């Protein structure tokens, strides 16, 4: 696999860049087409599996797949119930979708990047990144969607006028001199939530993928010398250990994304 790459940094920057297509003028209209295709495929597979099981569900003794799906649904439902005591007919399915979809994104990180690169290279696509959550566009898309949902529910719960009233008068008070500090604090709070949500997922997955690549580079020198052999063996062990740790991180980050989305939408229903 070291053939075809001139230097280690070329290997890494080749694997860290997305496949882009341009649909218009300028940088804004450059689409990371690999992220788009991967996220659609993973959505179809992950959520389609849930839909298929729900269609053929039995009330008798359930099979293994149905029990697993029921466990997941109950887990998400209990988590949302803890966070939001109101009517969760919309929030719990949203949380389940977020959890399953983000987990499928993250799980792609366990595929060896060189295998993915060989397969997609044979199809003629270079720079194909298999993990959509290592693309800032994908994670920000999800977190800003949650942000717009938060705004929508705020409008629904407090009314548009009530929302703007609260924007200027919470948390310090209604005196006109406090309007600017209130507004500044509220805008910072409103913006910090989606940005931190998106960046947390991106940072975790990007760093994880980068460590895999660096350990792979360490293993590439195994064929060169005796010291290289030791380094190669160390790289193998470290890669295994990091992969095991990463399995925990994958599930944890999907869970955190789901819980925080539910908490933000629940907080939008509150009045002051």
Binding positions for another protein, rule: CB under 8 A? 9, 12-13, 16, 196, 199-200, 202-204, 206-207, 210, 252-253, 255-256, 259
Quickly count: other Cβ atoms within 10 Å of residue 46's Cβ: 19
Residue 196 annotated in active site: yes
Q: How far apart are CA 129 and CA 38, in angstroms?
A: 9
List the catalytic residue out of 9, 196, 223, 225. 196
Cα separation, 114 vs 220, in Å, equals 12
Taking the least distance from each CB to another protein, the nearer of 79 and 182 is 79
CB of 30 to another protein, least distance (A): 16
Closest CB 157 distance from another protein, rounded Å: 25
CB of 174 to another protein, least distance (A): 33
* Residue nearer to another protein on the CB measure, 99 or 202: 202
* C-alpha radius of gyration, the chain, whole number: 23
- CB of 158 or CB of 193, closer to another protein: 193
Burial class (CB in 10 A: 0-12, 13-18, 19+), 222: middle
Distance of alpha carbon 257 from alpha carbon 255, whole angstroms:
5
Query: To the nearest whole angstrom, how small is the minimum distance from the Cβ of residue 258 to another protein?
Result: 10
Catalytic hit among 143, 182, 204, 261: 204
For the question of residue 204 being annotated catalytic, the response is yes
182 is catalytic: no
* Contact (Cβ atoms closer than 8 angstroms) between residue 1 and residue 114: yes
Question: Active site residue: 127, 137, 186, 200, which one?
Answer: 200
Q: Are 129 and 18 in contact (CB under 8 A)?
A: yes
Cβ closest to another protein, residue 170 vs residue 214: 214
CA-wise closest residue to 201 among 19, 71, 39, 28: 39
Catalytic residues: 196, 200, 204
């Amino acid at each position: 696999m070291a053939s075809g790459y001139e230097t280690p940094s070329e290997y890494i920057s080749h694997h860290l860049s997305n496949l882009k297509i341009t649909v218009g003028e300028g940088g804004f209209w450059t689409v990371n087409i690999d992220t788009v295709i991967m996220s659609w495929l993973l959505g179809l597979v992950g959520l389609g599996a849930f839909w298929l099981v729900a269609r053929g569900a039995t009330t008798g003794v359930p099979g293994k797949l149905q029990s697993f799906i029921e466990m997941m649904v109950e887990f998400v439902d209990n988590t949302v119930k803890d966070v939001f005591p109101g009517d969760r007919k919309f929030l719990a399915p949203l949380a389940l979708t977020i959890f399953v979809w983000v987990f499928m994104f993250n799980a792609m990180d366990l595929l060896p990047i060189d295998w993915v690169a060989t397969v997609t290279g044979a199809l003629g696509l270079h720079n194909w990144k298999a993990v959509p959550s290592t693309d800032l566009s994908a994670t920000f898309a999800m977190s800003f969607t949650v942000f717009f949902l938060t705004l929508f529910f705020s409008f629904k719960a407090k009314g548009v006028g009530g929302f703007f009233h609260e924007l200027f008068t919470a948390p310090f008070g209604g005196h006109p001199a406090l309007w600017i500090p209130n507004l500044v604090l509220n805008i910072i709070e409103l913006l910090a939530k989606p940005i931190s949500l998106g960046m947390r997922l991106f940072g975790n997955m990007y760093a994880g993928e980068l460590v895999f690549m660096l350990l792979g580079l360490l293993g590439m020198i195994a064929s060169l010398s005796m010291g290289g052999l030791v380094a190669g063996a160390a790289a193998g062990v470290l890669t295994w250990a990091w992969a095991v740790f990463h399995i925990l991180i994958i599930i944890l980050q999907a869970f955190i994304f789901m819980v925080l989305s539910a908490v933000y939408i629940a907080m939008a229903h509150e009045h002051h």
